Amino acid sequence: MATRARLVGFNHVALVVGDIEEALEFYGRLFEVKLRGRGPGMAFIDAGDQFIALSEGSSRGRDGHRHIGMVVDDRRAVRRALKEMDVEILPGRGLDFLDPWGNRWQVVEYSEVQFTKAPHVLRGMGLGQLRKSEDALEELRRKGLAPG
């Protein structure tokens, strides 16, 4: 038996936003948003078998290192939406932006990263056609996490 727990994944990410309704509208313009639930000063957005918890409050402001790495099926669609919304895309080779509350988002495409959803979860999300790039598969194989 292991003496320490192993990290398996993430259940949710919690973010502080200034106003729940404004946040739902903002994120709803970038992503297909399905509300999982609500509470006083809180909203929960489904992300497949995970979720984002939004909490109304005041943030301590920007932090250059704190960020959320969000996996999407189509990064170009997010880039188009950000441009349509006049949201500044931060310099760099990826797709990073700040939401109105100073939360930094790093948007990556499913095909390019090791993060993997189980096939039945992808099917349930209507994304059964998503595949990994050869580079991502090679990273997974080196760790013994993909078929040889």
Better-predicted residue by pLDDT, 98 or 66: 98
pLDDT digits (tens, 9 = 90+) for 124-142: 988 888 999 999 999 999 9
Domains (range + CATH), the chain: 12-142 (3.10.180.10)
Whether residue 5 is predicted with pLDDT greater than 60 in this model: the reply is no
**Residue 99 near residue 105 (C-beta atoms within 8 A):** yes
Which distant-in-sequence residues (6+ apart) come within 8 Å of 107 by Cβ? Answer: 70, 72, 75, 78, 79, 94, 95, 96, 97
Whether residue 91 is predicted with pLDDT greater than 80 in this model: the reply is yes
DSSP one-letter code for 73: S
pLDDT digits (tens, 9 = 90+) for 49-78: 899 999 998 766 665 566 888 999 999 999
What pLDDT was estimated at residue 64?
57
* Residue spans of alpha helices (H) in 31-94: 75-84
Report yes or no on whether pTM surpasses 0.85: no
What pLDDT was estimated at residue 2?
60
